[in-house]
Amino acid sequence: MVTIAFERFCTSLRDLANDVDDGDQTLAGIVTSNLGHVRALAQRFGINQDDAYLSAAFLYEFS
């Protein structure tokens, strides 16, 4: 079940990716170079950090 907090986290993650992606970055590059932002977003929305990283991977690879 997807929660509203998780949906908001994913939206914020997409926004982050759009802000930092130069068109040539991979998911790993975006997440790795922006771990502080991903952690802050996870904390803000009450998402477990491990789940946040997996979600980021899924979101960018399949959306």
Taking every pair of Cα atoms in the chain, the longest distance, rounded to a whole number of angstroms, is 33
Number of H helices, E strands in the chain: 4, 0
- Which residue reads 């040539």 in tokens? 24
Identify the CA nearest to 61 among candidates 13, 26, 32, 36: 26
Tell me, what's the pLDDT at 4? Answer: 83
Mean pLDDT for the stretch of residues 22-43: 74
Tell me, what's the pLDDT at 24? Answer: 67
Tell me, what's the pLDDT at 21? Answer: 65
Mean pLDDT for the stretch of residues 37-49: 82
User: Residue ranges per domain, the chain?
Assistant: 4-19+26-62
